[in-house]
Structures are given as structure tokens and as C-alpha cells.
Amino acid sequence: MNRTTRTLSATSFLSAVSISLVMAVALRGLSRAEDRDRGDVPGWVMITLMSAVLVAGLLALAAPALEGLFDQAIEKVGQ
């Protein structure tokens, strides 16, 4: 894995973590009356954030293989 890929992976992970922290703080500040009206928003936020972190992790693991496939495709087109 080259340096750019590692930097992008780390950036993606840090972005997902910072978004989750901001959302947790924002949702924590709501009053109990507002809690009843918003339904299961915290659950959906957690599902969305966990999915984003999972995708970022899989991308970090699969990046070298995807780069190899891309390079092979470009070589075949260039021939």
C-alpha cells in the first residue's frame, strides 16, 4: 500500500470518527420532550456511521488489489 492510500485511509477513518463524535454530542443535547418526537434517530445514525467505518476499513484493505486491477485494465486499453 503506497503512502497516498494510507493517508486517504487514515483521513477517511478520522473523518468518520469525528462525525460520530459530533453527532453524539449534538444528540446528547436534546431535551426529553424532543426525544419522544424524533423516533429512532440515534439508532439510524449509529447504523450509518458504523457502515461508513466498515466501508472505509474494507477500502483500506482492498486498495492494493483495486489498484492492481485498475493498472491491468489501463494496460490492456493502451495496447
> 17-61: per-residue pLDDT in tens?
677 766 776 666 655 555 565 567 778 888 899 999 999 989 889
The full 3-state SS of 4-46, as one line of letters, equals HHHHHHHHHHHHHHHHHHHHHHHHHCCCHHHHHHCCCHHHHHH
pTM: 0.42
Of residues 34 and 9, more confidently modeled: 9
Q: Which residues contact 13 (CB under 8 A, 6 or more apart)?
A: 53, 56, 57, 60
In angstroms, the first-to-last Cα distance of the chain is 26
Alpha carbon distance 9, 31 (integer Å): 36
